[in-house]
Structure 1
């Protein structure tokens, strides 16, 4: 506990249990320094830690019992891994002298540490109290060095009960960022500075480089593009922020691309790639540089440091440029109109939600028809204010995650946008929202089906509808049964009013929005490639 506090942990999301009794005793004894927010399901604790980490960039910590307890959190761990989030998983273990023997101890599973090693960047077991300071320090070194990803520590229950002198906490200092290669920076500057129609692509690895990215965009007259993670690095009301469909069209004539802290996987996989575009890829993870395709220049570096170096170097090579603001404004307007013509219902609801959500508010999405379209139809104004599960596509993660976002940002509004299918995965956490006074406003679009699956069954599989429809509760009454506010809205205008009133009330709220089948979003979200595929 002293080591966790020394590393800045002041909140732990957790559920107590016999293998963690002594750890929770320590939490109790340090109650003035660390608060404990419990949940109604282990998955809730881990999603909350994920929401804390994604919305702040800080480390989100959770603690659950071993075996089925830690297994219940693995969807959140995989989401944190996919989104490069700093999540610390703390779990117990069966007695140390029984590990690996298959005796059938309570919560015993085969090779728990091995399971955690495959879902995290680093996992370790503390085998004696004297190991705790160094083990915790190494966990935090891993969390703060290189590419952020989750880390796990397990401690057998008998070791947690032991007493021994352990000395003072050891601080896990992060590794230094990789040194910049000046030749690579110079080559990248020549490519970008000499390009006619450069573009900039950003992801979650660029959140701390927003200032540098805005400067690069202005120098190069280059639009800035993000898909899920990375939204809001450039305020999407600004002329040089392009949503994905508009950026796909611009990509057709792009001759140089700067990717910072992102995989650029969707663009190079679905938009097409040929020899007309030279890619400069900046990433702290060296394994990402060549994963999708080999770039013209690959720079392993911290995003902000590389961005600043590129600004200085491009100034020496930058061609004379005229403003592209009007061109990009026209492009944005055409694609906005196209989206409204194809997915009008979703766009109307998103417009209402954007108007109702204050500028500093958080939007936590889900895998649902309205939130799919939010990837291209919900403007994001600042970094980390749109929280998504990225490529993991973790159905049902959203509501519990939004509670972690709210706990980390108590004075800012948090909006959770759900479908009826995913919402019930963690709807029991309404009780946690009430218990901990977390005033998240959750909107539930209710169509009585896993809508995307139902559409595919009808249209792609000759009407073989199976397992995709269900019966809902009355979500407003469900909320009220937990002690939260329950509301209902049927139109975008009604929804805007209800969301505004709910934010003013500052109480946990669920707003049910009954809807029918909605138009398919994928033709808008994933338009046809604008470049031919590379021919090998």
Structure 2
């Protein structure tokens, strides 16, 4: 007998398509234009878990944390207009970090679209705005179109260079009902295979190099095994600034911090960039105001990147357009073939030079106090598979070069957007995605206050994140620059903060106050084992922190 399907709302059609694509978690803040989505989520709470938030920006960051820590899509829903704008910082952070994030939003009723009448939450050309902040965005015009467009969103989000996408649906359309033909999950195309000639050229450059160095980015996080194998074959050290941290651990013989890499860079003749924009040698080590379309210093560059546009932005001597994992594996096979019977470079000497550079830099970095000692205390307490999140504070900046990431994806940063305040809500998303692993986020007092309301979310949902808040009563970096570059004309950089311990208590969150790395080390183990969120306030005297910038922007 032919089974007659029931009509469903636009919101239900969207949620059913999410479930078909394996989504089990959604973050969001409901409103009138998205009620049908949230009602469908409530009806499907046995298959998909919804986490509310206190601010749209936090919803986006939580989805970003989910995606950044797993490589799986992070999904969130907020109202159109101001809700979308509030979440904009999270969208562009996801864009900068190549994180697969899906925004679901509403829009003004269909009859009002494009008429400028000032309907609730109307902004001019919302879809056009979204298209400029995401990899791809579209409008669902009919309830029946929801499965096709949700699947297209997943295809766009996960194919090629991953990134955020958005779908909008008019307020009235989302509430309408229709019979919808369900689809299975989206068909994600396999990455295009690397050109064998390009692989051969890249392998020849690397095999004949005297001192190659590998630099990794976010695009290589899923290729850790292949990167490690390449490093061992080539006797090449591996480094990263932010996104590629943990692919080869800093404590491993061939794992380098960016500061050690800078020490060894003068001897490097060939750079292999895998899934990275190569920010270190083209911006951090040469000046942020100087444009380079080739690697400076006459060094040869081999690139593996899934995005062909990257080969135009920064030209390579041997460009390989391919997924990092597949491209690196093809390169391994080519290098092994070319190395067969050929003399190898002196790996023992290379490793000895790396060890010596590490020791020398460690002695210098130890002077960045008290940040390094606080980071060491956290590193000693956090398991190797635990997540460490930076924030734009002095400890966060110092972590660029002083934190030893030991596993892929465990160092979660804000990327090149430098979005102040992203840290705490992002950490909540990381913990939701990884409930059995420990999560620590370091925040400055200024940045933490951007999302302080999410203490309520953490308490209500039992999200066991440890937030270490450094309280120096200032936007420390701004205040340092005003002191050193603008003759001490301080403006809008000093902060009158709340009592963070009482504030946490008001939210029902466990809190501790410390004033030294030793005191932090004493409270961290129990905090990491707590069943709910914990705030640790670190008292830092104003202007007492050493500048980390000589190691982030070393003199050319």
TM-score normalized by the length of structure 1: 0.97
The answer for the alignment partner of 2:451 in structure 1 is 426
Partner of 1:522: 549
Match of 1:310 in 2: 331
Q: CA deviation at 1:344?
A: 2.5
**Count of paired positions:** 527
Cα pair 2:193 2:326 within 8 Å, conserved: no
Cα deviation, residue 170, structure 1: 4.6
Which residue of structure 1 lines up, in the alignment, with residue 401 of structure 2?
Answer: 376
Q: Is the Cα–Cα contact under 8 Å of residues 281 and 296 in structure 2 kept in the other structure?
A: no
Q: Tell me if 1:487 matches 2:512.
A: yes
Alignment partner, residue 135 of structure 1: 149
Residue of structure 1 equivalent to 2:344: 320
Please state how far the C-alpha of 1:275 moved relative to its aligned partner.
5.4
Match of 1:281 in 2: 303
Q: Which residue of 2 aligns with 1:67?
A: 81
- CA drift at 1:274: 4.4
Alignment deviations for residues 194-227 of structure 1 (CA, whole Å, 9 cap, x no partner): 1110000000000111001101111111000100
The question of 1:106 aligning with 2:120 is answered yes
Tell me the SS of whatever aligns to 1:5: helix
The answer to whether the 8 A contact 1:134-1:170 is kept is no
> Residue 498 of structure 1: CA displacement?
1.3
Q: What is the match of residue 289 of structure 2?
A: none
> Which one is further off, 18-27 or 368-377?
18-27
CA distance in 2, matches of 1:504, 1:172: 39
Following TM superposition, by how much is the alpha carbon of 1:317 offset from its aligned partner in structure 2, in angstroms?
2.6
Work out which of the residue numbers 318, 325, 337 in structure 1 matches 2:363: 337
Q: CA deviation at 1:290?
A: 3.0
Residue 533 of structure 1 is matched in structure 2 by none
CA RMSD of aligned residues (A): 1.1
Q: In the TM superposition, what is the alpha-carbon distance from 1:447 to its structure 2 partner?
A: 0.4
2:178 alignment partner in structure 1: 164
Residue matched to 1:398 = 423
Note closer, same or farther for the CA distance 1:365–1:275 as it changes in structure 2 (3 Å cut).
closer
Structure 1 residues 467-507: Cα deviation after superposition (integer angstroms, max 9, x where no partner): 00010111111111100101011100100111112112232
Q: Is residue 388 of structure 1 aligned with residue 410 of structure 2?
A: no
TM-score by length of 2: 0.93
1:246 and 2:273 equivalent? no
Unaligned ranges ≥5, structure 1:
530-536
Q: Distance in 2 between matches of 1:396 and 1:460?
A: 25
Asked if structure 1 preserves the Cα contact closer than 8 Å seen for 2:441 and 2:465, the reply is yes
The match for 2:207 is 193
Is the CA contact 1:194–1:317 (under 8 Å) kept in the aligned structure 2? Answer: no
Post-superposition CA distance 1:55-92 (Å, at most 9, x none): 00000000011111111100000000000000000001
8 Å Cα contact 1:478/1:486 also seen in 2: no
| SS in structure 2 at match of 1:115 | helix
CA shift for structure 1 position 169: 2.0
Contact persistence 2:504–2:510 (CA under 8 A): yes
Task: Specify the alignment match of 1:357 in structure 2.
Answer: 382
